[in-house]
Amino acid sequence: MTRPTKIPIQHHWAHVAACMAENQIEAPVLGVVWDGTGYGLDGSIWGGEFLLAKSDGSFERVAHFRQFRLPGGDRAIKEPRRSALGLLYEIFGENVWDVLQQNLDFSETEKSMLVKMLEKQINAPLTSSAGRLFDAVASLTGLRQRASFEGQAAMELEFARQLDVRDAYPFRIEETQPMKVDWGPMIRQLLADVGRNESSDVISAKFHNALAEMIVAVTKKIGEQNVLLTGGCFQNRYLTERAVAGLREEKFTPYWHQRIPPNDGGIALGQCIAASWGG
């Protein structure tokens, strides 16, 4: 009996393939793939990706979120405060406690242990995850420090937004290869808002608006007409609608999931489609 051939398919590439199949479109296309966790080709945890699908069935990672470390690895999924600490450590280094207005519910022992993890890069993997960025912001705004399930903090952040706010936090795009979307300016201004006791509703709206603007800004630099929105973060209706509106305003053609789940529920379809292209 012949054993079946195993074809490895990168997690985020499967998301793109699933969305392409659902919308019956062919490459080239820019896939915006935002989720919580997925093993990347470089050995880090991906999750804030911009993948350019090519007509030969391959893809190129053309942009991604600035990376930060997750102290404790998988424990950060259930403890958004860990994502927040890793995010702030990426910006402020060992001075992280000097700039933090709240202790994120860490004991003194935990503070010492977690910073050592970050300093020595032990059990503190790098991630570009949009999902963990959501978690970190939910923690910094005081909405959720511990979660019962993955995505809980992000859901609470989505529901907290104030609909009539159109302002957005600033960000930078570094012209590297691949390009890097730097959330540093956003987090600095967000911390200033927290320090002024700005409401979580306003902070959430400005955060979501910034994310939608990031999508449009990267798309304009890549210049690909067709744009897919896929991955678990696009279960967030407000984010999806804002991104779609922004892309259409700039004359791009956005596509998103309407029958196939944008989260890992659609991965199997994407794996099959990508495998048929040769992986």
| pLDDT confidence of residue 220 | 98
Tell me phi and psi for residue 251, to 5 degrees.
70, 25
| pLDDT confidence of residue 101 | 63
Residue 83 amino acid letter: S
Residue 78 amino acid letter: K
> Which residues does the chain have with pLDDT short of 70?
1, 101, 162, 279
| pLDDT confidence of residue 40 | 96
Please state, in angstroms and as integers, the Cα–Cα distance from residue 148 to each residue in 18, 41, 77, 142, following that order. Answer: 28, 30, 9, 16
Tell me phi and psi for residue 177, to 5 degrees.
-125, 105
In DSSP terms, 31 is beta-bridged to: 51, 228
| pLDDT confidence of residue 209 | 97
Contact (CB, 8 A) for 238 and 161: yes
Residue-wise pLDDT for 188-224, tens only, equals: 999 999 999 999 999 999 999 999 999 999 999 999 9
CATH of the domain spanning 11-276 = 3.30.420.40
Q: How far apart are the first and last CA of the chain?
A: 24
Please state, in angstroms and as integers, the Cα–Cα distance from residue 99 to each residue in 115, 116, 204, following that order. Answer: 14, 18, 21
pTM for the full model? 0.96
| pLDDT confidence of residue 189 | 97
Residue 263 amino acid letter: N
Q: Is 73 left (phi over 0), alpha (psi -120 to 50) or beta?
A: left
Task: Go through the chain and tell me how many residues it has.
Answer: 279
Report DSSP state, residue 6: P
Query: Quick one: tokens of 86?
Result: 């890793």
